Amino acid sequence: MANLVVQRDFISREIIKPSTSTPPHPSTYKLSTFDQTSTSCYVPILLFYNNQAPNGSSEVMEISGILKNALSNILNRYYPFAGKIKGNTSIDCNDTGAIFSVFHLKNKLVDILIQPDLNILDILLPDALPWSNWKNGSLLEICVSFFNCGGFSIGMCISHKIADAYTIQLFLNDWAAMTKQPDIELRYPHLLEESAFPPGNRFTLQESQYPRGRNPVTRRFVFSPLKIANLKARVVSSSIVQNPTRVEIVTAILYRCLLKASKINSGSLSPSTLIIAVNLRPRVVPSLPYNSIGNAAWPFMLLINEEKKMKLDMLVAEMREGRRKFFENSKNMKGSQWFSVVQTALANLKSMGNLYICSSWCRFPFYEADFGWGKPTWVCISKSPFCNTIVLLDSKNGDGIEAWIILEEQVMSTLEGDDELLEHALLNPSIR
């Protein structure tokens, strides 16, 4: 909705500490190689809920009180989230707590969901934190906003130093389960720490940096199940790749269109590398527990330096082969060896041409986060200052994909006019 004005009233801001210090936990949580090399920014996520209040009540204080009590209890299990980072190597698990803010909005939820204005989503997240660098503040902050219609949103920002997207969905679903059923028996999360992926002891790794450009802008493109099926049929007809996945197809078409837009703006095709993040938990040998928290993702690379490789079927084929090799190599890697892999990759970034980063959050069950008032009606992130970045999320039906793309303004303007992309994706449609 264009020119949407959000009016809100501040209600409260509290520090939520773990409800008890038992069972006792180590005072220091040592960061792994992947934690140390993750960017220090806060990763935002927003979940919107319709007006389904407990016991027929939509009282703000009642709902926020239930959420805060469950948050305090779940922080007993996720105790590093309530601590403070020391340098770039560890977390002081001192139960400092998480920040929890509550607001009342004079708008209705539908105002947000009709052609969402991406510029106003930050208002529903903890102030000034989305994608900003961590500066000795709380590692976890939450903002709950109640709409006039009775619906509400839960906006969360968490430091990337302690959580990847997989960790975020684990935490949200555990918090939701404990909110809905306080006496539920939940399995304690498995803390990865440095023992899983030990950092080298000769020197301290510098954290990786996402590319930042001039005037970055964020756009949301939505691929319906039907359009994804059409793209799959187009690729399968070439006989190069059979049974491409949703994520492979959407990633390939986006990368193809990004390369075309970059070529139009620069006048020629420059060597470009797509960095595709992969969840390592089920890939390493032995596999990590499904409830492992921390950073356990690393990418494989897709280098394109010839126009003939820009064909959709070839991009999918190259992507699948790169993923296969990555998975095969992962099986042979031991914890300490990942340090050398990370070190080499970071040293070679400058030789990879134009860098694009793709992170898929698809199949992570964010839409299962039921706090007792039903499942989310929409899950999203927010606009970002990082350039050449793609984040993929499931649409609510689970079969479509929302692609959040961040590019320099001039390149984005070209991308938005790409007929091939617009044939298969809608630009920022309403939430249904």
150 and 16 inside one domain: yes
CATH for 229? 3.30.559.10
Q: How confident is the model at residue 336 (pLDDT cuts 50, 70, 90)?
A: confident
Check if the beta carbon of residue 370 is closer than 8 Å to that of residue 49. Answer: no
Amino acid in position 321: E
49 and 171 inside one domain: yes
Tell me whether residue 67 is in a domain. yes
Q: How confident is the model at residue 128 (pLDDT cuts 50, 70, 90)?
A: confident
190 and 232 inside one domain: no
Burial degree of 20 (CB within 10 A; 0-12, 13-18, 19+) = exposed
CB atoms within 10 A of CB 330: 18
Tell me whether residue 94 is in a domain. yes
**Is residue 239's pLDDT more than 90?**
no
pLDDT at residue 351, as a whole number: 79
127 and 242 inside one domain: no
Share of the chain above pLDDT 70, in %: 94
Tell me whether residue 332 is in a domain. yes
Catalytic member of 117, 127, 313, 370? 370
110 and 236 inside one domain: no
Total count of domains within the chain: 2
Q: Is 95 a catalytic residue?
A: no
Amino acid in position 228: I
pLDDT at residue 398, as a whole number: 85
Tell me whether residue 207 is in a domain. no
Catalytic member of 35, 122, 160, 164? 160
- The two tokens of residue 260 are 């075309």
pLDDT in tens, 413-432: 999 999 999 999 999 999 98
94 and 30 inside one domain: yes
pLDDT in tens, 210-223: 566 678 999 999 99
Check if the beta carbon of residue 384 is closer than 8 Å to that of residue 406. Answer: yes
E strand map for 41-97: 42-49, 84-86, 90-92
Q: How confident is the model at residue 347 (pLDDT cuts 50, 70, 90)?
A: confident
161 and 242 inside one domain: no
pLDDT at residue 328, as a whole number: 92
> 346 versus 425: which is more confidently predicted?
425
Amino acid in position 258: L
Phi and psi at residue 64, to the nearest 5°: -65, -35
pLDDT in tens, 13-52: 999 999 986 567 788 999 999 998 888 899 999 999 997 6
- The two tokens of residue 180 are 């809905």
> 333 versus 178: which is more confidently predicted?
178
**Is residue 350's pLDDT more than 90?**
no
Tell me whether residue 363 is in a domain. yes
Residues with Cβ within 8 Å of residue 272, at least 6 apart in sequence: 258, 259, 262, 303, 304, 305, 353, 354, 355, 356
pLDDT at residue 202, as a whole number: 47
Q: Is 424 a catalytic residue?
A: no
For tokens 């691929």, name the residue: 223
Amino acid in position 225: P
**Is residue 368's pLDDT more than 90?**
yes
**Is residue 256's pLDDT more than 80?**
yes
The dihedral over CA atoms of 296, 160, 426, 413, expressed in degrees to the nearest 10, equals: -120
Domain boundary residue, one of 164, 196, 228:
196
302 and 348 inside one domain: yes
pLDDT at residue 341, as a whole number: 85
Domain boundary residue, one of 196, 225, 249:
196
> 208 versus 196: which is more confidently predicted?
196
How far is 272 from 352, CA to CA, in rounded Å?
A: 7
**Is residue 353's pLDDT more than 90?**
no
pTM value? Answer: 0.94
350 and 235 inside one domain: yes
Tell me whether residue 211 is in a domain. no
228 and 192 inside one domain: no
How far is 147 from 195, CA to CA, in rounded Å?
A: 45
Residues with Cβ within 8 Å of residue 401, at least 6 apart in sequence: 222, 223, 228, 246, 247, 250, 362, 392, 393, 394, 395
Owning domain of residue 87? 8-196
**What is the pLDDT of the chain when averaged over all its residues?**
90
pLDDT in tens, 175-198: 999 999 999 999 999 998 888 898
Tell me whether residue 163 is in a domain. yes
pLDDT at residue 55, as a whole number: 41
